[in-house]
Amino acid sequence: MWLFTLALRNLFRHRSRTLLTGLAIAASFALVALHMHFEYGSWNQRIRGSVEAVSGHLVVQHPDRADDPQVEYVVSRSAEVSGALQRTFPEARVLRRAQVGGLLASPRNTSPLFVSGIEPDREAQVTRIDDLFQDADAARAALDSAPEPTREALQREAERGLGSWLEPQDLRGIVIGAPVARTLEVELGDRVVLMAQVGDELQSIPLVVRGIYSTGIDRADAVVAYTTLQAVQPLLVDPKTGEPVPDPAHQVAVHFEHERGLDALAARAAQAVDRSDLSTLTWRQAMPTLLRQMEVDRSFGIILHVFIGLIVVVVIFTTLLMSALERTREIGLLMALGMRPKHIRAMFWAEAALLGLGGTVAGFVLHLPFYAFLAYVGIDLGDMIAGSSDIAGVVFDPVMRAEFDPDALFYYGPFTFLLTLLASIGPAYKASRLTPVDAMRHT
Amino acid sequence: MPIVTVRGLSRTYTRGEHKVHALREVDLDIEAGEFTALMGPSGSGKTTLLNLIGGLDAPTAGSVVVEGTDLAQLSAGARSDLRRERLGFVFQAYNLIPVLSAAENAEFVLALRGVPAAERRERAHAVLAQVGLKGLEDRRPGQLSGGQQQRVAVARALAGNPAVILADEPTANLDSTTGHDLIELMRELNTRDGATFIFATHDPKVLDAARRVIRLVDGEIDEDNRK
Amino acid sequence: MPILLIMAWRNLWRHGRRSLLTALAMALGMAMSMSIISMYDGMFGIMRTLMIDQLLGHVQITHSAFPTRRGLYDTLHHADELLSRLDALPQSRGAVARVHGQALLGTEHRSAGVRLVGVEPSRELAVTKVQDTVPSSLPGGVDPGRFLADEPAREIVIGYDLARDLRVALGDELVAITQDAYGGIGNEVYTIVGLTRSGDEAMDRAGAWLHFSDLQALLALDDQVHEVRILAASDAQDVVGGLLDALPGALPDGLIQDDDATAAISPWWDIDPMAAQMMEMRGIAQFMVLVVVFGLVALGVINTMLMSVLERTRELGVIKALGLRPRGIVWLVLYEALLLSLLAAGIGTLLGAGLIAYLMTIGIPMDVGEGEGIGFGGIVFPSRLYGGISVEAFVEPILGVVLSALLAALLPALRAARLHPVDAIRAE
């Protein structure tokens, strides 16, 4: 204990140097932690968006569909599957979806896109696409009485959704993106035709435009439209026989409030579904590419963090070495009084440990307000991030918000601390190798 | 006209709760060419008076006029300029700049004044020769003895042809022979070149050499004798 | 040489080891930022080539309704004459005409809604090098084939991902069904000659290239085109700006044969603001990296300079007493920091150049499977990313290290300048 008391006093004696070195440790920890939280937040956001729109926490689908999203990989008798899952998980939201690629045609033009056949009321509970219409209605209502400065924002909000989201029983309705509406030159209530190939036949499904949405990301909005599952079911036939499949869908997705114990839930779901022609996957299994992207991204981040660590090590090393050389006399005195080299080393390490611990803790405290800003206010990246249409139809929130990455605390925290100790090895040995006489003579 | 005029000069320090009156209403005139020693026990105000005359410190009350310029009227920067242009300093502990050679130390003030390199180099060699350090121009302070270092300090003070050279205990760190030689040197510079010196000292050798001895007690002038 | 500079240089070597270590930390920071800029050079080089050369061009000339509506009838006439005039413009590197259409493209069993782009291969080769979107190899030894032949031969080149979705390979035939300019159904059979993997997700997953005569025939467009795009002689804003100014005078009569429309001349940043934003983001990201790295480095420099000033308190007091103005003291400390940073810049440049050489030749593996790299903003990067080289990669870190050192030294320098000479000389 006396070791730490001595170390603490030494640190206090050189207050400005201790403060600066501590600040270097704190700043490096805070910067890396903030970077980690931000990356964590943006990945979680991306994952949540994909879980909402693409897979669900659990998804029941044809075994081959995860790798190869072919139109023929269907879930037959999907309502039965959905019912079984809903009975097993009464709290969860279970929804069916199908996605077909085709050409949407108006008398004026055509547009290639993917049409999602969904269950409108259930979809509305999970994804946010329907919110655009409600928000737009609210914005329109507020627009007349709104003061001038807020009008522009409201106007933009109002343009996010024209018309309404689909009604559950609306077998002929379609909701399209604003770019599609411009290309086809159609308005609310206009007729369009969805052309798609079924077997070797060209099928045309007549639909009516109920809603026109704009997430603000034209690239994504140009390729995704929504209609009811029933409307696209005629397009899902057995490709070999050309025969219709009973009540088909591409997936039955299950959403929970949280994803704890997902593997066990998946096992229960598989049991409940009890169909050998279907597989039950967690979102991790259903979206392997997304996870791999995340891993690659994170490993690139780690290289940066190590580099930053290296810079800090050199800074700390310099400071501690100077401190060792400056205190030559004092060390000589301590040795003359009977302190052994290993005690001197221990004293230096105790100083480094206190410095590392103090710096890391200070960094943690220091980064909290910035973290709070990034978490609650976020950075508005506009439409930069969302263009990644590897998952078409995911509605991204353009405001990136940080989320607390526990790794920052449990992995980078100790790492920073260890770096400080690492940097103190050399200077401690240097100090302990002085002989008392040399040291005392030195002025 | 006196080269330095001091009127009603007081300097009070606050040490915690106490007020220390280092100087109390001192009046003093120094004429050009004088070789003056300020003496008195420690804490009598010698160094304080020297610092005030050199513009290194600001008085609590009173004025210091050097060559007709009232120091109180000058900004900190202008006081720096005055020190550089018109004053020379010799400190107790040599206080040479360790990274500069003897010649570079001697020409330092000239360099600050912007004197061309060749001219100031010549002058530095000349003053070093005057103080008897010919041949040691390129040595760094660490390679010189204490007496030699103090000679460099004197050379540095002389190099700029100052109106007044202020020396605070110049012999305190020297053995008696070396101290004696240094005083002889300064005395010679005074008589031959007319350089004005003011010393703060309690070295009897300096007092012997001085033509005017001012005795300070508790911040006041107790005696002022011209020989 | 000014005496203060000489003193600063010698002061630096009073604690040579400390100076060298500090310089090492600074050099590491430089090497790190050089590597990151090099990677940005590589990545944004890919993005630039893809976005400007292949996807957007610098400037597009279209029917005024085409950018928003992308209508089949929003066409340009006499494109040949326009192209030959554009070729003559000094700010232009070349121009190409393109036809755009949408079709249901498929085999007997499967189909997809696809964007069709009609090009003139010989012109594209000289200007946009769209031929490069057909890679030299594909994962699993799949033969990528070649780009379209110069003469129309009902050939089609489709995206690799689209080919996988449709389960087709080179030599297979695809049927395109579309609405033609007369409102009828146009259809035609094409032979697949090549597969693209451009990195543009939209085209790789749902796009196909045809000879523009073939596409004109499918859409019954005669010899009209939808778009003429020009590549400027360089990316520089003033060159593109000059091109924009010169274009209105270069348009031939009868280009637009539509009474209520005009010709639209749109620079690439107006056509795809998102792409422009992404390119701009580079500057912000790079600046952030420099701020973070040199912020940390600056803490090390403050430390060293503060020590250097504190241990010389008495000496600084003497110098001040001798008549050096406070500003001179500030310079003395700043010179020392400047020399330190120049030393660091030397070491850092060597270190960074080594790292850049590594990144340019060996690169960083970023495979997320299927030979694809990470995706960002609709662009899929290659599975191995290589660094690039630019003047910026050297200049910015050098400026960073020098400026951060000077900034960091300012605090100790001001502290030194404020020293009271009497106290300082008395200090032990």
**Are the beta carbons of C315 and B100 separated by less than 8 Å?**
no
B91 found inside a domain: yes
Distance in angstroms (rounded) separating the CA atoms of residues C404 and C344: 12
Q: Name the minimum distance, in Å, from the CA of A90 to any CA of chain C.
A: 36
When CB atoms are compared, the residue of C14, C326, C422 closest to B57 is: C422
pLDDT in tens, C72-82: 888 999 888 89
Among residues A239, A255, A271, the one where a domain terminates is A255
Q: Which of C315, C322, C325 sits opposite B98 (nearest CB)?
A: C315
Residues of B in contact with C319 (CB under 8 A): 97, 108
Round to whole Å and give the CA distance between C296 and A319.
14
Instruction: Identify whether A250 is part of a domain.
Output: yes
Q: Examine the domain organization and report whether A117 and A179 are in the same domain.
A: yes
User: What CATH number did the domain enclosing B133 receive?
Assistant: 3.40.50.300
Asked if C369's CB is within 8 angstroms of A292's CB, the reply is yes
Domain extent for B41? 33-56+83-226
* Same domain for A424 and A329: yes
pLDDT band at A148 (very low <50, low <70, confident <90, very high): confident
One-character DSSP codes across C75-141 = -BS-HHHHHHHHHT-TTEEEEEEEEEEEEEEE-SS-EEEEEEEEE-HHHHHHHT-GGGGS-S--GGG
From chain C, the residues in CB contact with A293 under 8 A are: 368, 374-375
Strand bridging mode B196-200 / B164-168: parallel
- According to the model, what pLDDT value does residue A393 have? 43
All partners of chain B with 3 or more CB pairs under 8 angstroms: C
C14 Cβ under 8 Å from any chain B Cβ = yes
B84: chain C residues, CB-CB within 8 Å: 322-324
Question: Are A122 and A248 contained in the same domain?
Answer: yes
Tell me if A302 is assigned to some domain: yes
- Look at A293 and C368 and tell me if their CB atoms are within 8 Å: yes
Going by pLDDT thresholds of 50, 70 and 90, the confidence category of residue A388 is very low
What is the pLDDT at residue A391?
Answer: 39
- Give the tens place of pLDDT for each residue, A154-171: 888 888 889 999 998 888
Q: How confident is the model at residue A131 (pLDDT cuts 50, 70, 90)?
A: confident
Amino acid at A271: Q
Same domain? For A224 and A342 the reply is no
Mean pLDDT of C158-178: 91
Q: Which of C336, C354, C329, C352 is nearest to C400 (CA)?
A: C352
- Residue B162 in domain: yes
**Of the candidate ranges B6-10, C30-34, C59-63, C106-110, the one whose mean pLDDT is the lowest:** C106-110
Measured CA distances, A137 to A161, A186, A221, C87 (Å): 8, 20, 20, 51
Question: Between chains, do C71 and A195 touch, taking CB under 8 Å as contact?
Answer: no
Q: Which of A116-125, A129-138, B41-50, C245-254 has the highest mean pLDDT?
A: A116-125
B111 contacts on C by Cβ (under 8 Å): 2-3
Q: What is the pLDDT of residue A253?
A: 94
The structure tokens 């800090």 sit at A312
The per-residue pLDDT for range A175-195, each reduced to its tens digit, is: 999 999 998 999 999 999 998
What is the Cβ-side half-sphere exposure of residue A97, based on CA atoms within 13 angstroms?
Answer: 28
| pLDDT tops 60 at residue A355 | yes
Count of C-beta atoms within a 10 Å radius of residue B220:
15
Q: How much is the pLDDT for A208? A: 95
Chain A touching partners, 3 or more CB pairs below 8 A:
C
Q: C378 vs A219: CB contact, 8 Å cut-off?
A: yes
Q: Show residues of chain C in contact with A112, CB under 8 Å.
A: 102-104, 112-115, 206
Q: Which of the residues C299, C355, C401, C428 would you substitute to probe the A interface, choosing the one with the greatest number of A C-beta atoms within 10 Å? A: C299
Q: Quick one: pLDDT band at residue A385, thresholds 50, 70, 90?
A: very low
Which of A208, A235, A255 is where one domain is finished? A255
Task: Classify burial at C252, counting beta carbons within 10 Å of its beta carbon; exposed 0-12, middle 13-18, buried 19 or more.
Answer: middle
Residues forming a β-bridge with C265: C61
Mean of all residue pLDDT scores within chain A: 85
The CA-CA-CA angle for residues C273, C277, C283, to 5°, reads: 155
User: What chain C residue is nearest to B47 in terms of C-alpha separation?
Assistant: C422
A249: its two tokens: 């869908």
Is the per-residue pLDDT at A442 higher than 70?
no
**Is B201 within the bounds of a domain?**
yes
Alpha helices in A327-340 (DSSP H): 328-336
The count of structural domains within chain A is 2
What pLDDT does C207 receive? Answer: 92
The answer as to whether B125 is a domain residue is: yes
Q: Mean of the per-residue pLDDT values for chain C?
A: 88
Domain that holds residue A196: 58-130+165-255
- pLDDT the model gives residue A236: 87
Is A210 domain-assigned?
yes
Assess contact for C50 and C199: CB atoms under 8 A.
yes
Say yes or no to pLDDT of A336 above 80: no
Residue B151 is assigned to a structural domain of this protein:
yes
ipTM: 0.86
Question: Is C148 in the B-facing interface, judged by CB distances under 8 Å?
Answer: no
A81 assigned to some structural domain: yes
Residue C51 CB burial class (10 angstroms; 0-12, 13-18, ≥19): buried
A434 and A371 within one domain = yes
Kindly determine whether residue C364 and residue A288, on different chains, have CB atoms separated by under 8 Å: no
Label residue A441 by pLDDT band (50, 70, 90).
low
How far, in Å, CA of C365 to CA of A58, rounded?
A: 31
CA distance B199 to B50: 8
SS3 call for A252: strand
Rounded Cα gap, residues A282 and A260, in angstroms: 12
Question: How far is Cα B199 from Cα A392, in angstroms, rounded to an integer?
Answer: 90
Question: Closest Cα of chain C to A122: distance in Å?
Answer: 27
Q: Is the pLDDT of residue C1 over 70?
A: no
A99 assigned to some structural domain? yes
SS3 assignment, position C269: helix
**Would you say residue A383 has pLDDT above 50?**
no
Residue-wise pLDDT tens digits, C285-328: 888 888 888 888 888 888 888 888 888 888 898 898 888 888 89
Chain C residues with CB-CB distance to A323 below 8 A:
none
- Chain C, residues 134-193, CB within 8 A of chain A, namely 164-165, 167, 177-179, 183
Higher pLDDT, C31 or B188: C31
Residue A398: the pLDDT is 63
B81 touches chain C (CB under 8 A): yes
| Residue A386: per-residue pLDDT | 43
Q: What is the mean pLDDT of residues C108-117?
A: 87
Residues of B in contact with C6 (CB under 8 A): 100, 104
The residue among A197, A228, A255 that closes a domain is A255
**Residue A146 binned pLDDT confidence (cut-offs 50, 70, 90):** confident
Q: How far apart are alpha carbons A322 and A310 in whole angstroms?
A: 18
pLDDT band of C90, cuts 50, 70, 90? confident
Q: Is residue B148 part of a domain?
A: yes
Instruction: Categorize the per-residue pLDDT at C335 as very low, low, confident or very high, splitting at 50, 70 and 90.
Output: very high
Give yes or no for residue A439 having a pLDDT over 70: no
Mean pLDDT along residues A313-322? 83
Residue A328 has pLDDT above 90, yes or no: no
Q: What is the pLDDT along chain B (227 residues), one digit of tens a residue?
A: 788 999 999 998 887 788 888 888 889 999 888 899 998 888 888 888 998 998 888 888 899 999 888 888 888 888 888 898 889 988 877 788 888 999 999 999 888 888 898 999 999 998 898 888 888 889 998 899 888 898 899 889 888 888 899 998 888 777 888 888 888 888 888 888 788 999 888 888 888 888 899 999 888 888 888 87
The model's pLDDT over A12-33, given as tens digits with 9 standing for 90+, comes to 887 877 888 888 899 889 989 9
Could you tell me which chain A residue has the CA closest to the CA of C18? A318
Query: Is the distance from CB of C117 to CB of C225 less than 8 angstroms?
Result: no
Of C314, C318, C323, nearest to B84 by CB-CB distance is C323
**Residue to substitute from A217, A232, A305, A318, interface C, most C β-carbons within 10 A:** A318
pLDDT value of residue C87: 86
CB pairs under 8 A between A and C: 191
